[in-house]
Amino acid sequence: MHKKTKHLEIPVKILFNMYKTMVKMRKFEEKVAELIINKEIQTPCHLYVGQEAAATGVCASLMKNDFVFSTHRSHGHYIAKGGDLNKLMAEIYCRVDGCSGGHGGSMHIASPDIGLPGSSAIVAGTIPLAVGVAYSFSLQKKDNISVSFFGDGAIGEGVFYESLNLASLRKLPVIFVCENNLFSTHMPISACLADTDIKKKAGIFNIPAERVDGNDVRAVYLTAKKMIENARNNKGPSFLECMTYRWFGHVGPNYDIDKGLRSQEELDYWMKRCPIKRLERYLKNKNLLSTSKKKEIYKNIEKEIEDSIKFKNKSPYPDKDKLTKFVFKED
């Protein structure tokens, strides 16, 4: 089952790893949504449900020492980069054993040991950081690359254009990944951008760009893999626009239909294009995924999530005397 087959563009092992990763993201975020509804989680959480294929497809070709920079919607990137669910759940509860030591909460997930040095609630805030790290890799002649994940709302920030310009000038090993979920906070993209074809903006800086179906993990993987290989071979940056959709609202577990921000028909349309179901159908059509195998995968992941809740229960809150630790530079 885990051998490369002639009729597949992607090895079976990678396909299964991507399937498991997306299911892990989905089930984890659904559990977080449940905990928010039950008022067990108080910190604001921007959930990744519906967008699983973007982070999964990109990170499947990365090495551990490649760096990924995330956003306020960071749970998915952390999981895709190989993050530990125990530490993620503990961080969402702001416990000391969390991946950010309990200091960050949901919007500031960090885990340098897996190649995710930080996330930020500032829109476009990590784009220049990703470029700076890529510059460092280039100066040190390392073959590591840097990946910047951001939403379509980041296109309205000046630092986005400055970062693309510098990356192109210096031919830096950085991949810009726009997760275009069609909404900037609560506004549709058409109300924010005069030209909604985001990939074209990379062409201004002579950066090769492609737009893919962000709900098709195989398409994301194959496109990202080519861009990553180019970056490692000193061919400079690339720009990937993943067309996708978040099922929940901007923040929290609600669908926001009652707020008039989008229609039920629109949400239903995108739910039918579920990235997990899409890969699942492909695997079944290739006789690679049986019903029993699917049940086993879900059972193991659900246990892992329940174990993460037990883990955070044993973890204390950070010492209040260390509240400002990591905020100011220490000697």
Instruction: Output the CA–CA distances (angstroms, integers) from residue 115 to 81, 88, 100, in the order listed.
Output: 7, 15, 13
Instruction: Output the CA–CA distances (angstroms, integers) from residue 144 to 128, 156, 173, 233, in the order listed.
Output: 17, 29, 8, 10
The domain limits of the chain are 17-181+196-315
Helix (H, G, I), strand (E, B) or coil at 285: helix
The mean pLDDT of 118-147, rounded to a whole number, is 94
Q: Give the rounded distance of the alpha carbon of 75 from its chain centre.
A: 7
pLDDT tens digits along 225-272: 999 999 999 999 999 999 999 999 889 888 888 778 888 998 999 999
pLDDT tens digits along 40-97: 998 899 999 999 999 999 999 999 999 999 999 999 999 999 999 999 999 999 999 9
Write the burial class of residue 81 (CB in 10 Å: 0-12 exposed, 13-18 middle, 19+ buried): buried
Neighbours of 66 (CB within 10 A): 22
% of the chain residues with pLDDT over 90: 76
Locate tokens 């597949």: which residue? Answer: 8
240, 178 Cβ separation under 8 angstroms: yes
Q: Is the pLDDT of residue 6 over 60?
A: no
pLDDT tens digits along 14-28: 999 999 999 999 999
CATH-assigned architecture of domain 17-181+196-315: 3-Layer(aba) Sandwich (3.40)
Q: What is the DSSP string of 222-246?
A: HHHHHHHHHHHTT---EEEEEE---
% of the chain residues with pLDDT over 70: 97
Residue 2's identity, in one-letter code, is H
**Residue 3 banded pLDDT, cuts 50, 70, 90:** very low
The token pair that represents 231 in the structure block: 């970056």
> What's the pTM value of the predicted model, to 2 decimals?
0.91
Locate tokens 């991946």: which residue? Answer: 99
Report d(CA 127, CA 193) in Å as an integer.
19
